[in-house]
Amino acid sequence: PEQLVAFNAGGELYIGEGEDGQLVITSDKNALAGYARRFFSLNKDQLAVLTPKQLKLYNQDLILLEPNWEKMEVNVEELSKGVFPHFMLKEIFEQDKVVAETINSFLTTDEQIELTPEFLALEPLIKKSSRLIIIACGTSWHAGLVAKYFFAQLTNLPVSVEYASEFLPETIDSSDIVVAISQSGSTADTIRAVELAEGRGVKLIAICNVAGSTLARLADICLLTKAGIEIGVASTKAFTTQLVVLLLLAIRFGQIKNTITKELSSKLISQFKEIPRLIKEVLLRNKYIEDLAEKFSSAHNFLYLGRGLNYPIALEGALKLKEISYIHAEGLSAGEMKHGPIALIDKDMPVLVLAVKDEMYDRVINNIMEIKAREGRIIAVISGDDENITSKVDEVIKIPETNNLLLPFLSVIPLQFLAYYIARLKGANIDKPRNLAKSVTVE
């Protein structure tokens, strides 16, 4: 009684101390805010024994150690919902700002991509490398899938995108480059896969939102997203900032491998700098999606379809809906419909189709006709004023036109809103959905 023992067998563990000397243990440092004025990291194989009166810290040989206390820096604004009813909504609305901050953190004043000396040291290997392997889970995995299309268009590098939990280290060797993506930097599946990859001698680039996290520490190079603390379990602003870093990385790889011209990269970067303004435009259309949500909140199932760059966005839209509203949703490549899932379509099946004007547009229109012929209820996300689609579908959500490569930054936002407003109508616990944790620190 009155004794708590903590042992770090791998991953992250923090011990915080409050004003009155009370001690708190957590695997997520942000959770200490409001409870602790200082904290220290309990490192791997260290043991802490906590009683109401004292704290003792030992190494694996049971030698007593002094904790390395750090002051708890808290940005109160980041930790409060402000005027918003949920963190998720606040975080959706922060995307124009955090995307701009992430872009700017990697660009010089003359709009060149500036990376660290560690990255420069890796460039000879990038020049020679013949494959990129992206490892991640959940929403971060979807960001990796979008990146596959970025790299296909800007470099000649084959990219394979692996679920961290399904990663097969046998298939890689030291000429591969691994990119691990994780908001928290402490997802156990991702950390385990990265350790296995490092065991094969590969170089590791991490894209991470938490400086000092396990992943950030394991990586040869850590490229930080500037999303700020993400509290809602459903990841939103972390996703769009991960896309920023991945696109800049693809451009940089293209420059190193001479697969894109100077003109193309300058044009793309200047269009990219316009994206925060266009995100803002989409954010200001939230009321329209709130109204739309009312028409669909009683659905039991949902399909999300996209092709090319917008296929991973369909997966992401479906994940958002299922995790916070508990409606069964499936994201699919629109091209795969005819190979089986089309059998699900009837008048009770809402189908959200990403039908933006990109290379896949004509084929997506065909898919829309196939669904309509089977009486599916279609919501289409369209770019610009697309009269052609408006007459063929039940509802449209408009996003602005931009370079095709940049459309995912805009098309994902209405899907985040739709999931949010449907979940709110259902009275769900949006920021803490059942059975889920913000960082999944177990395998």
Q: How many CB atoms lie within 10 A of CB 181?
A: 33
Residues in contact with ligand M6R, counted by CB under 6 A, come to a total of 16
By beta-carbon proximity to ligand M6R, the closer residue of 190 and 310 is: 190
**Crossing angle between the packed helical segments 237-256 and 262-272, to the nearest 10 degrees:** 170
Q: Of the candidates 223, 233, 327, 399, which one interacts with ligand M6R according to CB under 6 A? A: 233
CB of 235 to ligand M6R, least distance (A): 4
Residue type, 322: K
Nearest to 219 by CA among 242, 194, 196, 192: 194
Part in contact with ligand M6R (CB under 6 A); list of ranges 59-67, 229-237, 272-280, 416-424: 229-237
Q: Of the candidates 27, 46, 95, 184, which one interacts with ligand M6R according to CB under 6 A? A: 184
CB of 234 to ligand M6R, least distance (A): 4
By beta-carbon proximity to ligand M6R, the closer residue of 138 and 376 is: 138
Part in contact with ligand M6R (CB under 6 A); list of ranges 46-54, 137-145, 253-261, 363-371: 137-145
User: Which burial class, exposed, middle or buried, applies to 276 when counting CB atoms under 10 A from its CB (0-12, 13-18, 19+)?
Assistant: buried
Q: Are strands 38-41 and 55-58 parallel, antiparallel or unpaired?
A: unpaired
Torsion of CA 97, 102, 105, 110, to 10 degrees: -80
CB of 186 to ligand M6R, least distance (A): 7
Q: Of the candidates 183, 225, 255, 286, which one interacts with ligand M6R according to CB under 6 A? A: 183
CB of 416 to ligand M6R, least distance (A): 10
CB of 229 to ligand M6R, least distance (A): 12
Nearest to 320 by CA among 280, 293, 285, 358: 293
- On whether the CB atoms of residues 210 and 441 are closer than 8 A, the answer is no
By beta-carbon proximity to ligand M6R, the closer residue of 16 and 433 is: 433
Q: Of the candidates 46, 95, 102, 182, which one interacts with ligand M6R according to CB under 6 A? A: 182
What is the Cα–Cα distance from 383 to 397, expressed in whole angstroms? 9
CB of 320 to ligand M6R, least distance (A): 6
95 touching ligand M6R, by CB under 6 A: no
Query: Which pair of tokens denotes residue 397?
Result: 């959500």
The alpha carbons of the chain give a radius of gyration, in whole angstroms, of 23
Residue nearest to ligand M6R (CB): 138
- On whether the CB atoms of residues 215 and 185 are closer than 8 A, the answer is yes
Site string for ligand M6R, 301-330 (x = CB under 6 A): ------------------x---x-------
439 touching ligand M6R, by CB under 6 A: yes
Q: Of the candidates 46, 140, 155, 416, which one interacts with ligand M6R according to CB under 6 A? A: 140
By beta-carbon proximity to ligand M6R, the closer residue of 129 and 182 is: 182
Q: How many CB atoms lie within 10 A of CB 440?
A: 16
What is the Cα–Cα distance from 34 to 200, expressed in whole angstroms? 42
Contacts of 267 (CB under 8 A, 6+ apart): none
Part in contact with ligand M6R (CB under 6 A); list of ranges 27-35, 119-127, 145-153, 181-189: 181-189
By beta-carbon proximity to ligand M6R, the closer residue of 142 and 148 is: 142
Query: Which pair of tokens denotes residue 30?
Result: 């942000």
Q: In what order do the strands lie in the sheet with 377-383?
A: 328-333, 301-306, 350-354, 377-383, 395-399
Which of helix, strand or coil describes residue 255? helix
Part in contact with ligand M6R (CB under 6 A); list of ranges 3-11, 14-22, 132-140, 288-296: 132-140
By beta-carbon proximity to ligand M6R, the closer residue of 96 and 323 is: 323
Subset of 189-218 contacting ligand M6R (CB under 6 A): 190
Residue type, 282: V
Query: Which pair of tokens denotes residue 115?
Result: 């990376």
402 touching ligand M6R, by CB under 6 A: no
Q: Of the candidates 36, 157, 234, 351, which one interacts with ligand M6R according to CB under 6 A? A: 234
CB of 328 to ligand M6R, least distance (A): 16
Contacts of 443 (CB under 8 A, 6+ apart): 165, 188, 189, 192
- On whether the CB atoms of residues 370 and 337 are closer than 8 A, the answer is yes
CB of 153 to ligand M6R, least distance (A): 24
Q: Of the candidates 137, 247, 260, 405, which one interacts with ligand M6R according to CB under 6 A? A: 137
Between the CA of residue 413 and those of 192, 225, 239, 280, what are the distances in Å? 31, 18, 10, 10
Residue 307 bridge partners (DSSP): none
- Residues forming contacts to ligand M6R in the complex (CB under 6 A) are 137-140, 182-184, 187, 190, 233-235, 319, 323, 439-440
